[in-house]
Amino acid sequence: MLSRSAERLYWLARYMERTENTAKLVSVHMNLLMDLPKDVEMGWQQLISINGQSSSFSDHTKLANERNVTRFLLADTSHSGSLISSLNAARENIRTTRELLPDEAWQQVNEMYLFAKSNLDSLTNRSSRVQFLNEILKGCQGYNGLLSSYMSHHHPYRFIRLGKNIERADMTSRILDLASLLLSESRSANLRQYETLLWMNILSSLNALLMYRQHVRSRIDGDDVLNFLLLDKKLPRSIGCCLIEIYDCINELPNHDSLPSKTAELQAYVDAIDTHQTTQLQLRMILDELQNQLNELHQQIVSNWFLKITPQ
């Protein structure tokens, strides 16, 4: 397999995962805010800080209201982290690796992109936004489904899985950042009142609510949620599970060098996290360290398999 193709597939997977995560996040957040009173410190601004995009956002727009934030996250072509930009980047990567993928995969991504592009203007309207997000999520599910059922599980597939899980782990850690708000000592009484709802919202953003209920089988509790999303080994979007996937892919790829042991170290770090009675500060430090290590892992993947050939 060409190094250049490996690189493009890895990025294809990251951008597709980012597209799906962004759609899901906005969609869940919209639902949540319909239920919350206006003065709770959980508004549209939080969605921007999740992705570390605050400065980029304030360059563009001043007011972090629903209209501006959703436009920024979904439709802003000048913002590289927006859904449309991710989808466009995914499409460029799949366009140049078509020969490695089932026909339907290219068509699926191409259709999604064309659909998104022609509907960008309708997103200010809430009900068409809901519809739009549903379509995108369906598209992502279709894409994931056809790759896993049509594609041989060889190297190309491993690079896709690798990219997907790195992106996924990263996104989960960012959503957990949002959760750290709920651990703040100084949080308002109002926020405390809606705490359960907010923890549920975090689980839903990661499609984990139902699985949590089956797994924990008691009322929703912050410590348990953190534990579940960080350490669980079976939930597809938990950090622990993503790391297992990453480890498996890396281990099956040729010339993996010191990467498996590096990944194993990261797994050990995560396993050792104690989510019991975590303070806001502790959680933030854990997550920062996690994101740094994921980034290091990414850099090593790049230099191990891609970098010598062509820049992305």
Binding site for another protein (CB under 8 A): 1-6, 95-96, 98-101, 103, 106-107, 110-111, 114, 155, 253-255, 305, 308-310
Cα dihedral: 29, 30, 35, 39 (round 10): 80
Nearer to another protein, 98 or 192 (CB): 98
Integer CA distances (angstroms), 292 to 49, 204, 284, 299, 307, in order = 17, 25, 12, 11, 20
Question: Cβ of residue 98: shortest distance to another protein, in angstroms?
Answer: 5
Shortest Cβ 6–another protein spacing (Å)? 5
**Would you say 104 or 289 has its CB closer to another protein?**
104
The residue with tokens 């996290």 is 273
CB of 187 to another protein, least distance (A): 48
* Closest distance of CB 93 from another protein, Å: 11
25 HSE (CA, 13 A, CB side)? 27
3-state secondary structure of 64: coil
Distance in Å, CB of 91 to another protein, minimum: 9
Work out how close the CB of 255 gets to another protein at its nearest, in angstroms, rounded to a whole number. 6
Q: Which is nearer to another protein, 60 or 98 (CB)?
A: 98
Q: Which residue from 312, 278, 282, 280 is spatially nearest to 298, judged by alpha carbons?
A: 312
Nearest in space to 224 (alpha carbons), one of 167, 291, 179, 192 = 179
Residue number with CB closer to another protein (73 or 162):
162
Output 88 or 173, the one with its CB closest to another protein.
88
CB atoms within 10 A of CB 119: 18
Alpha helices of 83-125 — where are they, by DSSP H? Answer: 83-95, 103-119
> Following DSSP, what letter does each residue of 138-206 receive, concatenated?
HHHHHHHHHHHHHS-SSHHHHHHHHHHHHHHHHHHHHHHHHHHGGG-TT--HHHHHTHHHHHHHHHHHT
Of 94 and 182, which CB lies nearer to another protein in the complex structure?
94
